[in-house]
């Protein structure tokens, strides 16, 4: 009996002298959960992109910024400009007011596009879509326009294959049924990850470029912060 009392006393003193070890046993399962959560995070090598969506009415005067829910008109000229914080891969697509889907970046599909507009994109380099010295022009068909900006750390072969599938499907559909292809593409892109936000950075000067022998500047310095691997930033605007 005396021996049993002595053992209990020693064990009690051990817990009193080593409270950290006793507490560590209580934290053990929680620490393991935190480790498991970090492995399943969807944010892999997050990137910052300095980016501007700009246009000028009827291709004249100064460029203005545009974004979600903006209104542009037939004859307006527009372009995209971005600068990545790290090396990576960028895919840009647009569905126009005719429900036609096409790729803006890489821009090898467009005659006269900047030959540097290919993957991979390089840290600190400015990319002008379609080129620094010229812009896209909105045609006479009015409606909704949507631009999809996708960032990946590796070539996205699945996305490339899906784009080709959509092109083939689009080619075989009548004009009245092309809206089905648009909805399918749009829903697939929205499922790629969380909605990204464009933020202003007043500490940095706006991007400057030359077009029609005149120097132009974006109105603001704007960034896409922490673009996760495979995420997409979607801009829908109205074409009047």
- Residue 41 pLDDT exceeds 60: no
Reported confidence tier of residue 3, pLDDT bands at 50, 70, 90: very low
Q: DSSP per residue over 12-32, as a string?
A: HHHHHH-HHHHHHHHHHHHHH
Is residue 109 within 8 Å of 163, Cβ to Cβ?
no
Is residue 118 within 8 Å of 206, Cβ to Cβ?
no
Residues 6+ apart with CB under 8 A from 153: 44, 45, 88, 89, 229
Q: DSSP per residue over 61-129, as a string?
A: S--EE--TT-EE-TT-EEEEEEEESS-BEEEEEEE-TTS-EEEEES-TTSTT--TT--SSB-TT--EEE
- Amino acid 45: pLDDT: 55
pTM over 0.85: no
* pLDDT tens, residue by residue, 184-238: 999 999 998 787 888 998 888 999 999 999 999 999 999 998 788 888 999 999 9
Q: Which of the residue ranges 16-20, 105-109, 200-204, 210-214 would you say has the lowest mean pLDDT?
A: 16-20
Place of tokens 């631009």: 147
Reported confidence tier of residue 181, pLDDT bands at 50, 70, 90: confident
Which of 11-25, 143-157, 158-172 is most confident?
Answer: 143-157
């Amino acid at each position: 009996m005396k021996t049993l009392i002595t053992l209990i006393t020693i064990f009690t003193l051990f817990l009193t002298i080593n409270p950290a070890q006793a507490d560590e046993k209580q934290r053990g399962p929680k620490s393991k959960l935190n480790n498991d959560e970090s492995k399943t995070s969807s944010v892999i090598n997050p990137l910052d992109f300095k980016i501007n969506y700009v246009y000028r009415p009827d291709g004249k005067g100064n460029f203005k910024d545009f974004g979600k829910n903006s209104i542009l008109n037939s004859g307006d000229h527009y372009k995209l400009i971005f600068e990545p914080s790290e090396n990576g891969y960028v895919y840009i697509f647009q569905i126009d007011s005719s429900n036609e889907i096409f790729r803006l970046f890489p821009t090898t599909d467009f005659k006269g596009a900047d030959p540097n507009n290919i993957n991979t994109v390089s840290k600190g380099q400015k990319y002008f879509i379609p080129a620094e010295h010229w812009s896209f022009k909105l045609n006479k068909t009015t409606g909704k326009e949507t631009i999809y900006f996708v960032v990946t750390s590796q070539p996205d072969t699945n996305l490339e294959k899906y784009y080709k599938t959509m092109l083939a499907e689009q080619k075989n559909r009548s004009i009245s049924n092309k809206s089905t292809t648009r909805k399918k593409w749009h829903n697939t892109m929205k499922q790629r990850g969380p909605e990204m936000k464009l933020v202003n950075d007043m500490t940095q000067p706006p991007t400057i470029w030359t077009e029609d022998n005149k120097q132009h500047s974006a109105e603001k310095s704007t960034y896409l912060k922490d673009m996760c691997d495979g995420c997409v930033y979607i801009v829908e605007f109205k074409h009047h």
